Structure 1
Amino acid sequence: MYNSQLPTDGSRASKNVSMSHGTDAELFEPKAERHGNERIRILLKSFGLRTSLIRLKVIDALLSAADSERKLGVRGVHTHLLDLDIPLSFLSVREVLKRLCSEGVITLHPDKSYSLHPQAIAILHSEPASDASLKA
Structure 2
Amino acid sequence: MPNQQMPTDGQHHRESVFQPDPGLLEALAPLQGNERIRHLLKCFGLRTSLVRLKVIDALLTTVGSDRRLGVRGMHSHLLALDIPLSFLSVREVLKRLCSEGVVVLNNDKSYSLHPQAEAVLTARIDA
What TM-score comes out, normalization by structure 1 length?
0.66
Per residue, is there more helix in 1 or in 2?
1
Letter in 1 for 2:112: S
Deviation at 1:125, TM superposition (A): 2.2
Q: In structure 2, what is the Cα distance between the partners aligned to 1:82 and 1:67?
A: 22
Query: 1:115 aligns to what SS in structure 2?
Result: strand
Q: CA RMSD in A?
A: 2.0
Q: State which structure, 1 or 2, has the greater radius of gyration over its C-alpha atoms.
A: 1
| 1:118 and 2:119 aligned | no
Q: Which residue of 2 aligns with 1:75?
A: 72
After superposition, give the CA deviation of every residue in 1:7-30 in whole Å (9 maximum; x if it has no partner). xxxxxxxxxxxxxxxxxxxxxxxx
Q: Which residue of 2 aligns with 1:47?
A: 44
After superposition, give the CA deviation of every residue in 1:30-83 in whole Å (9 maximum; x if it has no partner). xxxx81111101100000000111100000111112243311000010001000
| 1:35 and 2:27 aligned | no
Note the residue ranges of structure 1 that are not aligned, 5 or more in a row: 1-33
What TM-score comes out, normalization by structure 2 length?
0.70
Q: In structure 2, what is the Cα distance between the partners aligned to 1:72 and 1:115?
A: 8
Note the residue ranges of structure 2 that are not aligned, 5 or more in a row: 1-30
Q: In structure 2, what is the Cα distance between the partners aligned to 1:125 and 1:66?
A: 10
1:85 corresponds to which of 79, 82, 101: 82
| 1:95 and 2:100 aligned | no
Aligned residues: 97
Q: Structure 1: which 4+ aligned runs deviate by more than 6 Å?
A: none
Deviation at 1:110, TM superposition (A): 1.1
